[in-house]
Amino acid sequence: MSKLLKIKNSSWMTSPTIRALGALIIVFVIGLIFNADGAFLKWGTHRDMLRAVSVYGLLACGMTLVIITGGIDLSVGSILGISAVSFSLFCIHFSWPFYIAIIACLLIGLACGAASGLIISRFNIQPFIATLAMMVFARGLAKWMSGGQKISTAVQQADGTYKYVPVPDVFNFINSKILWNNISVVTIIFLICLLVSAVLLIKLRPGRYIYAIGGNEEAARLSGVPVNAVKILTYAMSGLFCAVAGICQASQELQGDPEAGFTYELSAIAMVVIGGTSLRGGRGGIWLTLLGVLTIGYLEKILSINAVGEDKRLMLTGAIIVAAVLLQKTKK
């Protein structure tokens, strides 16, 4: 009898998907109870939550890949900053066509990520240190590119006066809602990137290698897995998603703030961990991260529609991160 229970236990309770889903459902039910006079029952609330969480979600996509290899990427917020600044610069000041601006930003993000990956794999430096260095460097780069100023539509003229230029169309499009105002474009972008990560992790060979490296790097290496190349690819993908997030952030704020994305890496890590991806590497998945992103997104939304002050919101979020991770903890 007890054995039967145990088997049931192990197949249900220990499945990370079920646990992450459980956490999300609990938060959702809390939302239904404290629904702020029906505000939680309106689609608009959910749409806005998704919009608010999309930029973080994009960072969490890359972070998931990195964490499954057993690494960590602290530079995501700073790369977002560079991307936001350069996207604004390219579109508003240089008046580049939007597609060239987008490609340039993606390449910058990709290059920053690949550089971290190269330092980590080629020179065997701990991911924490290497991406910490990239975090500082990229923030500096963002400030240098912007001259320490926010890149807004107020463009300085040759005579020193400021003149407002119209907001580029691409900003307005990314900042808009589609499908009869029912979903934000940034949310669609997030979902596309989520899908790309899922395909990479589940359907493609490098994805398998990402799990193998995180599970047992030495065994993977001795099985002929190109460990260095896969690590560089992983950090480059993370950089790429950061660049996408930066483009979205700039469009939402209608400006490129060199401080954009400050401390976002911590939110991204929290979302991945709450989803149930193990920081030890080798275990987890992108769909778990989606659950983690939604859990945090709903939590924030519920607290804000119930007018809970920021002080209490932060304290509660901290407590809930611990609770969620305790829920995930498997005994072996």
Partner 1 sequence: MTDNTKSLLLKMSRISKSFGPVEVLADVNLDLYPGEVHILAGENGAGKSTLMKILGGVHTDYSGKIKIEGKETDFKSVQDATEAGVSIIHQELSLIGSLNVAENIFLGKEKSSYQWLDKSHMVEYSKGILKNFGLDIDPKRAVDEFPIGIQQMIEIAKALAFNAKIIVMDEPTSALTEPEVKKLFKIIDQLKEQGCSIVYITHKMEEIYSIADRITVLRDGEYIGTETAGNLPCEKLIQWMVGRELSQQFPRHTPHIGNVRLQANNIFVPAASTNPAPRVGNVSFSVKAGEILSIAGLQGSGNSELLNGIFGTYGKDTKGSVEIDGEKYKIDSPSKSIQRGLALLTNDRKSNGLVMDLSIIKNSTLACLPCYSRCFWLRPADERKAAKETTESLKLKAESLNQEVDSLSGGNQQKVVMAKWMQTNPKVLLLDEPTRGVDIGAKHEIYELMNQWTKDGIAIVLITSEMPELLAMSDRIMVMHRGKVTAQFSREEATQEKVLSAALGKRKPA
Residue 321 beta carbon to partner 1: minimum distance, rounded to whole angstroms: 24
Q: Which is nearer to partner 1, 22 or 226 (CB)?
A: 226
Joined together, the tokens standing for residue 129 give: 């240190």
Phi-psi region of 308 (alpha: psi -120 to 50; beta: other; left: phi over 0): beta
Q: Which is nearer to partner 1, 22 or 215 (CB)?
A: 215
Joined together, the tokens standing for residue 245 give: 């997030």
In the block, residue with structure tokens 């912007």: 146
In the block, residue with structure tokens 């039910």: 29
Residue 208 beta carbon to partner 1: minimum distance, rounded to whole angstroms: 6
Q: How far apart are CA 302 and CA 312, in angstroms?
A: 13
Cα separation values, 239 from 147, 259, 322, Å = 23, 17, 28
Residue 91 beta carbon to partner 1: minimum distance, rounded to whole angstroms: 33
Largest CA distance in the chain: 85
Binding interface with partner 1 (CB under 8 A): 203-209, 211-212, 215-216, 218-226, 282-283
Helix H or strand E encompassing 138: helix 127-146
Joined together, the tokens standing for residue 326 give: 């305790």
Q: Which is nearer to partner 1, 256 or 275 (CB)?
A: 275
Q: Which is nearer to partner 1, 175 or 289 (CB)?
A: 289
Residue 226 beta carbon to partner 1: minimum distance, rounded to whole angstroms: 6
Q: Which is nearer to partner 1, 142 or 288 (CB)?
A: 288
Q: Which is nearer to partner 1, 256 or 281 (CB)?
A: 281
Angle, to 10 degrees, between the axis of helix 264-275 and the axis of helix 43-68?
Answer: 90
Q: Which is nearer to partner 1, 256 or 285 (CB)?
A: 285
Q: What is the length of the chain?
A: 332
Q: How far apart are CA 292 and CA 227, in angstroms?
A: 28
Q: Which is nearer to partner 1, 117 or 282 (CB)?
A: 282
Residues 116 and 73: beta-carbon distance below 8 Å: yes
CA-nearest of 288, 320, 328, 284 to 303 is 320
Residue 237 beta carbon to partner 1: minimum distance, rounded to whole angstroms: 13
Is the four-CA dihedral 30, 33, 39, 44 of positive or negative sign?
positive
